[in-house]
Amino acid sequence: MAWAADNKIVSGVGDEKFDPSAPITREQLAVMINSFIEYKSTKLVGTNKPAFADANAVSNWAKDAVTSGITGNTFAPKANADRAAVATIFKKFVTEFVK
């Protein structure tokens, strides 16, 4: 966690505090992945920013990182990222990033 904070991949839950055992939301995960991509000074090929039906529910600090939604043209930014969602996101990430 210290490495990720030092490299601006995570920023904690406020007031310079971290809660590593708390559930993570989909938008928080998107921001962490986006921050890691920026840390590596690269871009994912072929990504775009789709317009989700619930785009107004995405926090301002997460809008640039939100690119991959769920069924029904939604992102569900405040929903927790369950294991299946995390596995899908990482599969897409590795497919695009590791070439």
Q: What is the pLDDT of residues 35-87, one digit of tens each?
A: 888 888 876 655 556 678 888 888 888 887 777 666 677 788 888 887 777 77
The answer to whether 75 and 52 have CB atoms below 8 angstroms apart is: yes
In whole angstroms, give the CA distance from residue 37 to residue 19. Answer: 23
Work out the pLDDT band at 99, boundaries 50, 70, 90. low
What local confidence, expressed as pLDDT, does residue 52 receive? 81
More confident residue, 60 or 99: 60
The answer to whether 61 and 72 have CB atoms below 8 angstroms apart is: no
What residues form DSSP beta bridges with 17? 14
pTM higher than 0.75 = no
Structure tokens given for 89: 């996101």
Looking only at Cα atoms, what is the longest distance across the chain?
Answer: 38
